[in-house]
Amino acid sequence: MLTAGERAPEFSLPDQDGRDTSLSGLLSRGPLILYFYPADFTPGCTKEACAIRDFHPAILAAGLNVAGVSPQSTESHDRFRTKYDLPFPLLADANKTVIKMYDVNGPLGFGVPRATFLIDQSRVIREAIQADFHIAEHQAFVQKCVALSAGGRH
């Protein structure tokens, strides 16, 4: 997994609507919380996405943006986003190209570990966490990112 201080690789992936979305485009609106998750509609991933949804106003108020990445299709992401009223983009990485770039591919290429990055506008990773089955650690990480950004320390 990439770590704090490393440069975040540029990428472009389709979002839930099939629109190409690049890292630079996401960062044009401010620092980014980029999270990788195993699959749409699974209990843990649903809990994580809904927690980020519920905290989304604070994320925006701190000047941050958020986007999720998983290997499901744009159609799956669209259904998942609609069902749970998620206000942030979900990016489809069916070939795991970006997942591999960020070194969050599962053992032997199976699955995707749960990983979250805070990336500043110069594409430097400021914070990172991987905690596969511990959703609460990701929630705490997002809250920490908001607190850091709200304090003016991107």
Q: How far is it, in rounded angstroms, from Cα 109 to Cα 112?
A: 8
Domain, as residue range, for 113: 12-150
1 and 132 in contact (C-beta within 8 Å)? Answer: no
In a domain, 6, yes or no: no
78 and 63 in contact (C-beta within 8 Å)? Answer: no
In a domain, 39, yes or no: yes
Q: How confident is the model at residue 106 (pLDDT cuts 50, 70, 90)?
A: confident
Q: What is the mean pLDDT of the chain?
A: 93
In a domain, 4, yes or no: no
Q: How confident is the model at residue 148 (pLDDT cuts 50, 70, 90)?
A: confident
124: pLDDT strictly greater than 70: yes
Q: What is the pLDDT of residues 25-36, one digit of tens each?
A: 999 999 999 999
In a domain, 132, yes or no: yes
In a domain, 108, yes or no: yes
Could you tell me the CATH number of the domain that includes residue 139? 3.40.30.10
Q: Which residues are catalytic?
A: 45
Residue 152, pLDDT score: 58
Domains identified in the chain, total number: 1
Residue 68, pLDDT score: 98
Q: For the chain, what percent of residues have pLDDT higher than 70?
A: 97
Q: What number is the average pLDDT over the span 103-109?
A: 84
In a domain, 5, yes or no: no
Q: How far is it, in rounded angstroms, from Cα 132 to Cα 8?
A: 21
In a domain, 37, yes or no: yes
In a domain, 3, yes or no: no
Q: How confident is the model at residue 154 (pLDDT cuts 50, 70, 90)?
A: very low
